[in-house]
Homo-oligomer: A and B are copies of this chain.
Amino acid sequence: MVGGGGVNDATLASSFDIERIRRDFPILAQTVRGKPLVFLDSGASAQKPRAVIDAMVRCMEERYANVHRGAYFLSEAATEAYEAARGAVARFLNAADPREIVFTTNSTAAINLVAHSWGRGVMQPGQAVLISELEHHANIVPWQLLRDDKGIALRVARVTDSGEIDLDDVAAKLADGKVGLVAMAHMSNVLGTVAPVERIIRMAQAAGAKVLLDGSQAAVHRRVDMQALGADFYVFTGHKLYGPTGIGVLWARLEHQERMPPFLGGGDMISMVTMERSEWAPPPAKFEAGTPPIIEAVGLHAAIDYVSAIGMPAIEAHERQLVDHAMRRLTDIDGLTLLGRAQDRGGVFAFALDNAHPHDLATLLDRAGIAVRAGRHCAEPLHSRFGVEGGTVRASFGLYTTAQEVDFLAEALTKAREFFA
């Protein structure tokens, strides 16, 4: 069961004590409908380790107040904790400066922030945004709204039959130099495909375009490095990284933040307000209007500490083994069609059974204690692209997922096919 990555992976993964890790997640000890919980929907939202829960509790029991404008102990402590979370995110992404980190509500809000502020405030009508067929709705709809509002064209790069970004098509769509922004998923939430972002960034920059990467999936599965990558914007969402809901991250270069007009108006994002006019606070405060997600920032900080202590390389190695194993087991099942076979992929598998509608299949699996998602996973155009308008079933892995759980899924799928025969 040693993965494709060879010795190095095996070594890393052997230091990865899955049983200990599973004990860190209280919810995994549950039974569901009398069966042990097999949670294979981490791609939608991950479960929370005790460390995250405890950090949030401690924040509320011992160190809570509103941040920034209080000259008293609790507010100073809360401010420190909030800014420490920003620092932790900066280190996690290897950002050059903590001020490059803007806290938002989730990935969706982060992409919308860029679409509104950069899209409406910096881009010019006549320019285009280039996305791909495999995007999550969060990286489609904001650009459609921009297109319809401001006359900025929306171009869509094709996805190959194996589920990879068609780089020739990217090149063709960049060729006329009109693309101002390339906005693409670092990793697909349906196909598991990890995009060749280094190449895409180089191609985009050569064509004069900025690059936004939707790291909602990728940042959970691999180490990402802002200074090495050279993108312009990067987003991810706390709840998929074992952190709480209600918090997301936009990483944006300071020079971009300087040029961007504010998006939401309110407290904390201003330096001066009169009724006639207001002046904006310096980045990143300019983009953090109102009371921020304080408790959630503390939770996210704990989540980052948690995955960092295990080590992103170890997490990646563990996942690589799981992915190889799942690939073998799933492709063995008669009548199962897997969407996408990208070379570089993470632990997300979308598939269809020939004789079972995804929704019926999900209900069956649920009865076996297996939590998977059925539908189009907020990627309707991608499902049309692959001719599966009716949707797929998706199993997605977290760092607590085991090979046994994959086996269990495979067995249940075989039995489900018999059930509907």
Contacts and interface: CB of A to CB of B under 8 A. Distances in A.
Interface of A: 26-27, 30, 32-33, 37, 39, 41, 44-45, 47-48, 52-53, 56-57, 60-62, 64-66, 69-75, 105-109, 111-112, 115, 133, 136-138, 140-145, 154, 156, 237, 239, 244-247, 262, 264-270, 272-275, 277-278, 289-296, 359, 362-363, 365-366, 370-375, 377-378, 380-381, 384
Contacts of A292: 245
Nearest to A133: B275
14 contacts: A27-B60, A32-B73, A44-B66, A44-B69, A48-B60, A56-B56, A65-B371, A107-B290, A108-B266, A109-B264, A138-B265, A141-B265, A141-B270, A245-B293
A420 to B, nearest CB: 16
A112 B265 contact: yes
B72 A245 contact: no
A217 to B, nearest CB: 13
A380 B359 CA distance: 54
Contacts of A136: 266-267
B295 A64 contact: no
Given A44-B65, A60-B48, A71-B366, A273 B39 contact: no
Contact of A71 (B111, B138, B265, B363): B363
A364 to B, nearest CB: 10
Specify how many copies of this chain sit in the oligomer: 2
B274 A381 contact: yes
Nearest to A35: B73
A290 B141 contact: no
B105 A71 contact: no
A295 B69 contact: no
A75 B375 CA distance: 14
Given A27-B61, A267-B378, A371-B70, A289 B359 contact: no
Contacts of A64: 27, 45, 47-48
A59 to B, nearest CB: 9
A193 B66 CA distance: 22
B112 A74 contact: no
A269 to B, nearest CB: 7
A247 B60 CA distance: 15
Q: A-B pairs with the 6 shortest C-beta distances? A: A108-B290, A141-B265, A246-B246, A108-B266, A267-B378, A138-B266
A73 B362 CA distance: 11
A109 to B, nearest CB: 6
Contacts of A377: 69
A136 B37 CA distance: 47
A72 B365 contact: yes
A115 to B, nearest CB: 8
Q: Chain B CB within 10 Å — which of A45, A292, A366, A384 has the most?
A: A45
Contacts of A365: 72
Contact of A57 (B41, B57, B111, B268): B57
Contacts of A295: 244-246
Contacts of A372: 72
Contacts of A359: 71
Given A273-B137, A365-B72, A375-B69, A145 B265 contact: yes
Contacts of A44: 65-66, 69-70, 75
